Every structure is written in C-alpha cells, then in structure tokens.
Amino acid sequence: MVVINMDELVDKLAAKLLPQLTSALSDKLLAAVQPVVDRLDKLISIMSEVQPPATQSWVEPQIYSAMTKMIHMDRNELDEKNKRAVFIGISHEATEKDTKEEDEKMLREAITACNNQQLSESYANGHITTKRHPDYRAGPKGYRPLKVMFESQIHGDIFLRSLRTNRPSKMQSLPHSYVRRDYTADELKYDRILRRRVGRENQKLGVTRFVVRDLQIIQLKNDRPLSRPFPTRSISPDSITDNQPSISTNNKTPSNAVSKPTSRNVMVRKKGEVKSCTKKLDLQHPTSK
C-alpha cells in the first residue's frame, strides 16, 4: 500500500504553484488557474488508483481545499505588495533617529538616480515613504529590511527597473545589498530555498559567484569575496519539490522582466554592469523642508 503524506503534498503544491498564480493579473486569473486544476485532476486520478478506498474520501477534499485558499487570496494584499519595494542588506545606524535619516537620504538619492519626473513629483509631494520591517531595531541576526511604499504599482515598477542600472552610493558601498519587489509569503519561502542552495555552492567555490535576484539564480560577471549570509528562516530545501533548481553555468543575457518562480526552470544569467546616471534631479522631501 502506498502511503501519501497529504500535509507534505499540499506544502509542495502551494510552494510550487502559488507564485505562478499570484503573479497573474486579475483579468487573467482564470486562465492561469485552469492548467493547475487540470494537473490536480490528473494527480487525483493517479492517487485514486494507488490509495486504498478508505482514504480516497479525504484525499480529494484536502487537495481542493488547498487550491481554494490559493485562488481566494486577498487581492487587496497583493495590490499593496505590488506598490512596495524592499531594500535588503542596508545597515542600521547607532540610533533609530540616525537610521531613519540615513534611510531617507538613500531613498532621495535613489529617486534622483531614477531620473523620472513621475517619481520625483510623487516624492516631493510626500507620497513615497519608508519604514524598517518589522521595526527599526536591528535584529539578532542582521539588518531589518527597508521597505519603500509608492502610491501606485507603476511607480514601484519604474523604481525597481531604474535601480537595476543606477545604484545609490550607499548600495555601492554595500556590494551584497540589493532591492526587490515585496514578496508574498510563498515567494519568500521559495527565495530562501534558492539562497540556501546558492550559499552552499558559493561556499564550495570559496567566492560569491552566484546570487539570487527576482527568484532566479544569477551568475555574476566577476566573482566577489564571500560575505556573511543574510538571516533567513529555517526551511527544509526538500519542502518544495523533488525536482530542485540546479545551478548551471549557462550564460544568458539579463532581462528586466521579473520572472515567475518555478522549481524546474531556474536559469543562470550574468548580471549587467552598473551604469552611472549623468542627469540628476534636485529633490526635496516635504518632511525635510
């Protein structure tokens, strides 16, 4: 008799399929869900053949219960996350007041580097704000993420796209820092699994050759010295799927598009060179006047 751990199966399905669903636009949600439902129907059919009749009555309801939770996610929460960017690896200052001031200074420099009139006006009107998550106290294992809140997803997308080539000076002084969009809980889980895999590979090499960006494994153009790992929660790498993403040395041109996470198709691409922005905008936040 084949024994299937349903809790483990649901975890694997959620970690693999949720990012795909949450990245779909609302008007395309049904189209994104249908292939998943078809695969689940096939899985249930296979399980019905190997499971004893006594267990078939609760196998199907559990799987569809997991799917229901995925499909009925809070759309408002997703919309809010799409309007946020997150800086990772930005150090704290000696006091909360100093940290807030330095965070604001870096944001102002980042907005200037973006060289975008919409962002500049939004910032000048006080519509772009920052906060450390969950608070301004440094954590026991590292720095708190710095979240940036925008008034629209369009502004957040412009900000992230611009900072791929124009990094603020504070980020340049912290080569292992980076900025990304605000992830869902399941995307964070997948991100941590990838980072553990990359960390082990870099340790074997003795240098930082691979990094994780936008839920993809990227090969840097030049190796960097190893740095202390950023704090991550304890997650078993086997909790997502048996087909784990592997690190390849295939060179691929970077893309500005955020790719959907998948445990079977994680490509390696070289990181583009950092370019400097020549045109600057003089910004002044209302709170600093």
pLDDT per position as a tens digit, 49-64 = 555 554 444 445 555 5
The answer to whether the beta carbons of residues 163 and 113 sit under 8 Å apart is: yes
Taking the C-alpha atoms of residue 88 and residue 171, their distance in angstroms, rounded to an integer, is: 10
Residues 204 and 242 in one domain: yes
Domain that holds residue 70: 6-74
Residues 105 and 174 in one domain: yes
Q: Using alpha carbons only, what angle is made at residue 67 by residues 147 and 46, rounded to the nearest 5 degrees?
A: 135
Taking the C-alpha atoms of residue 58 and residue 60, their distance in angstroms, rounded to an integer, is: 6
pLDDT above 90 (res 34): no
Write the pLDDT tens digit of every residue in 241-258: 434 455 654 444 333 333
In order of 7, 53, 75, 137, 253, the CA distances from 61 in angstroms are: 13, 14, 24, 44, 44
* 76 band by pLDDT with thresholds 50, 70 and 90: confident
* 266 band by pLDDT with thresholds 50, 70 and 90: very low
Give residue 196's pLDDT: 92
What is the residue-averaged pLDDT of the chain? 72
Asked which of 30-39, 75-84, 150-159, 235-244 is least confident by mean pLDDT, the reply is 235-244
* Domain-terminating residue out of 39, 74, 109: 74
Give residue 102's pLDDT: 93
Beta bridge partner(s), residue 273: none
* Domain-terminating residue out of 74, 91, 108: 74
Instruction: Find the mean pLDDT for residues 96-102.
Output: 92
What CATH number did the domain enclosing 107 receive?
3.30.70.1820
Asked which of 162-176, 184-198, 246-260 is least confident by mean pLDDT, the reply is 246-260
Residues 163 and 190 in one domain: no
* Domain-terminating residue out of 156, 181, 206: 181
Asked which of 27-36, 87-96, 248-257 is least confident by mean pLDDT, the reply is 248-257
Give residue 135's pLDDT: 82
Q: How many domains does the chain have?
A: 3
* 170 band by pLDDT with thresholds 50, 70 and 90: confident
Give residue 177's pLDDT: 84
Percent of the chain residues past pLDDT 70, beyond the cut: 51
Q: Examine residue 288 and state whether it is found in any structural domain, yes or no.
A: no
pLDDT above 80 (res 269): no
* 15 band by pLDDT with thresholds 50, 70 and 90: low
Q: Examine residue 132 and state whether it is found in any structural domain, yes or no.
A: yes
Give residue 203's pLDDT: 94
Residues 217 and 204 in one domain: yes
pLDDT above 60 (res 199): yes
Residues 188 and 171 in one domain: no
pLDDT above 70 (res 14): no
